[in-house]
Chains A and B, each alone.
Chain A
Amino acid sequence: MLTLHNVSVNIDDTPILNEFNLEVPQGEVHAIMGPNGSGKSTLSRVLMGDECYQVTQGAIMYQGEDLMALSPEARAHQGLFLGFQYPVAIPGVNNMTFLKTALNAKRKALGQSECDAMSFMQLAESAAQTIGMDLAFLKRDFNTDFSGGEKKRNEILQMLVLEPKLVILDEIDSGLDIDALQAVALGINALRDAGRSFILITHYPRLLELVQPDRVHVMMSGQIVMSGDYTLANTLEEKGYGWLASNTVES
């Protein structure tokens, strides 16, 4: 599904990712953990196509194609979805309108017919029900005056409606109460299938217990320094990243 090979990334000529390698096969859920500032968000922004980040070397292949050749919107049309660490608010724009515009932009790009108001409504409502989101949120302005947790839930709602192929969730579980965390996990598990891959960026094992990823990677200073199964998350929680610094062997 996704392969990064020796990818280096700069921001304003400061290197952030250094010869980064990652392979996420189709149908797998991978988690990325790592201390603040290790480059996790940078990775997700590069995958999304944020032009603030300069990719100085390496290759990123998505479904066998050069991802860097695609504009951010084309990546979305091709099934890439980034759940933002800090989702924006758009005052005056109805949540449903935003989501419907996004869905139809994708359908149009793929040569499919636009989704009409009725079937969209059903789609959005059933997605909201999956994650226990109050339908009133659908009618509100997009993320406007939403709490942090409500914004994250809204990211999951969009993910469910857009049915992407590769989902990257950047700290989707930060600042969530237990109910919201459950809801997010429900959303992820509802969408999980053999054709779809996930990258979950997180600091906490709790989400990983609910989702049970196939692999867990630990990132430090712009590189993956250790990989393992989901029990690695617990080990890290116990021993901290300091343990890793003295133990940077790939398992």
Chain B
Amino acid sequence: MASRSAPLTSELFSNIAYEAGFVTDIQSEQLPAGLNESIIQQISEKKAEPSWMLEWRLKAYRHWLTLKPPTWAHLKIDPIDLNEIVYFSRPKSMKDAPKSLDEVDPELLATYDKLGVPLHERARLAGVAVDAVFDSVSVATTFKETLSEAGVIFCSMSEAIECHPELVREYLGSVVPVGDNYFAALNSAVFSDGSFVYIPKDTICPMELSTYFRINAANTGQFERTLIIAEAGSRVSYLEGCTAPMRDENQLHAAVVELVALESASIKYSTVQNWYPGDEEGRGGIYNFVTKRGLCKGDRSKISWTQVETGSAITWKYPSVVLRGEDTVGEFYSVALTRQKQQADTGTKMIHIGRGSRSTIISKGISAGQGQNTYRGCVKVAPTAAGARNFTQCDSLLIGPHCGAHTFPRMDVMHPNAQIEHEASTTRIDEEKLRYCRARGLDEAQAVSMIVNGFCKPIFQVLPMEFAVEARQLMEVSLEGCVG
């Protein structure tokens, strides 16, 4: 006879197929592992960079030497030997930069096909321009012509350094200074590629822009750098996706993303993060240590971060907004799922400087298996920010008895008439809801996925449409195997 219902247990969340876990067999050209000034010089040389760029890198490196990894996060991190990491790896075929997609190695194109991000003309995602970054280099950017007709620049960071040095010099490091934190400084020293976006004045970017990051080579770190500049009155929506093969070793991904919104400009930045999370025992997986920050520089500008984080062994990231202009708007919408032995310490900072600046934070953490999920947020209101407002809501959902959810909201309010609202909740997935769904014919996996999808709805509904579908499916796949 059936015994008393066991609560959902951790073994319910066993290892789940990670569909993006394949390796592309391709010859790559790598620098030796290790981190020193000579390596940095070689990276810069390989990329044929101007001398100001090398100097910038070296300055960052020297500053980084004085820094220590942060220890304040609620994370257990096995020490990383930065001297065992390869800081530059590119497919051999990319050495003489292909001039067009026809020249790109078919093996590389096939990789992106398999990941559902076709790059070739015929199968491209409608309405989405993609910059594909493979290990340390950008392999292709689609729809460049369409975009350039609108005056939009969308290219790899390497190309931007070569072709738009004045923009890069003005804005690179202007939002995340080279010495901002340990990982940002490291990135500034060794970053290899990434995406660059420039939207001219009063221009609405005619299509979604997207970067797809792929780590392929073993023992390689990925240190990309993204810079988006939205001139006055312009608007852009940008999305990044990421995957990596399944490997037993941890791989480091330390990116920096900087956004600058000038007067009345609007930037919407969405992430669907599906880096390899490691296996059931916590072996392998990506360390995702990322610094993302936007500056609402002009009055009435708006920056919105939306993230769906399901991958990575460890996630450490706090997409933030500095609300410098008057009546600026910052938003942070987040779903973070941790299962197996995944850990996430994620959240945001909203720094209110301008009068009348407003921010909204909605964070949904889901923990299953032995996953640990931390929301860490900070709302700062400077004495200049009269009439500033913030609304924060962070909800945690626990599935099973062995996972954890933690919330560290911080508020620093230095203006007396600021309005700050904070709501938080932590709930276990309700057994009665599962029983109800099952009584209606849904199996346990369907029931869990339905309840979790409902929990995430406020976030999914602000994602661009195609990616909302992807996020929902990703969540479903990640929750598979929850059947007892």
Contacts and interface: CB of A to CB of B under 8 A. Distances in A.
Interface of A: 12, 48-52, 54-56, 68, 71-73, 75-77, 82, 84, 87-88, 90-93, 98, 101-102, 105-106, 109, 141-142, 158, 162
A90 B433 contact: yes
B249 interface: no
A87 to B, nearest CB: 7
A131 B332 CA distance: 43
B435 interface: yes
Interface residues of B, number: 26
B192 to A, nearest CB: 40
Contacts of B20: none
Interface stretch (B154-162, B220-228, B446-454): B446-454
Given A76-B441, A88-B430, A90-B454, 18 more contacts: A68-B1, A68-B2, A73-B438, A73-B443, A76-B439, A88-B433, A90-B433, A90-B437, A91-B455, A93-B451, A93-B453, A93-B457, A98-B440, A102-B440, A105-B442, A105-B446, A106-B441, A162-B441
B434 to A, nearest CB: 9
B432 A49 contact: no
Interface residue SS majority, chain A = mixed
A77 to B, nearest CB: 5
20 contacts: A48-B435, A49-B2, A50-B5, A50-B435, A51-B3, A52-B4, A52-B5, A72-B439, A73-B441, A75-B439, A76-B439, A76-B441, A87-B436, A90-B450, A93-B450, A101-B450, A105-B442, A105-B443, A142-B454, A162-B440
B438 A49 contact: yes
Interface in B330-352: none
A144 to B, nearest CB: 9
A55 B455 contact: no
A49 B432 CA distance: 12
Contacts of A77: 441
Contact of B435 (A72, A91, A101, A162): A72
Given A54-B1, A54-B2, A68-B2, A105 B430 contact: no
A88 to B, nearest CB: 5
B456 interface: yes
A48 B439 contact: yes
A68 B2 CA distance: 8
A44 B430 CA distance: 20
A143 B277 CA distance: 35
A217 B251 CA distance: 67
B439 A82 contact: yes
**8 shortest A-B CB distances, which residue pairs?**
A92-B454, A92-B457, A76-B441, A51-B5, A93-B454, A72-B438, A102-B440, A105-B441
B436 A51 contact: no
Contacts of B456: 92
Interface of B: 1-5, 430, 432-433, 435-443, 446, 450-451, 453-458
Contacts of B432: 88
Residue of A71, A73, A87 ringed by the most chain B CB atoms within 10 A: A73
Nearest to A89: B433
Nearest to A75: B439
Contacts of A68: 1-2
Contacts of A102: 437, 440-442
Nearest to B5: A51
Contacts of A55: 1-2
Contacts of A88: 430, 432-433, 436
A75 B439 CA distance: 8
A76 B438 contact: yes
Nearest to B444: A73
Given A88-B432, A88-B436, A101 B446 contact: yes
A106 B442 CA distance: 8
A71 B433 contact: no
A189 B216 CA distance: 63
Contacts of B5: 50-52
Contact of A92 (B435, B441, B442, B455): B455
Contacts of A158: 440
B308 to A, nearest CB: 15
Nearest to B454: A92
A55 to B, nearest CB: 5
Contacts of A54: 1-4
B149 to A, nearest CB: 38
Most buried by B among A68, A84, A88, A158: A88
B428 to A, nearest CB: 14
Nearest to A54: B1
B439 A92 contact: no
Nearest to B440: A102
A251 B443 CA distance: 42
A68 B442 CA distance: 18
A59 to B, nearest CB: 11
